[in-house]
Structure 1
């Protein structure tokens, strides 16, 4: 913000740059916080039931 103002920029431009920088930082923080979901574990019971269902027909 101060760089824009010290180089003859308008206060509106300085606030705009400041707002865009804050938005980019918030977006980056949210993206870094996201974690991929781990795959669901399948119990041995589910495996035997699905194999039996496939054999029945």
Structure 2
């Protein structure tokens, strides 16, 4: 699997600058679901790298 560092992009497209909207995380069920969803997604996506680091 190639990593982002393996790519050399010489023809970069200019992208519009967008404003980042801050989010406030509370200690409630909605925040818990949101964080768990994204953590599971990242773990699944990078599971092979995480297994190599664990060895």
Q: Give the TM-score range, shorter chain.
A: 0.3 to 0.5
Q: TM-score, normalised by structure 1?
A: 0.35
Higher relative contact order (CA 8 A, sep 6+): 1
Q: Which has the higher helix share?
A: 1
TM-score when normalising by structure 2: 0.36
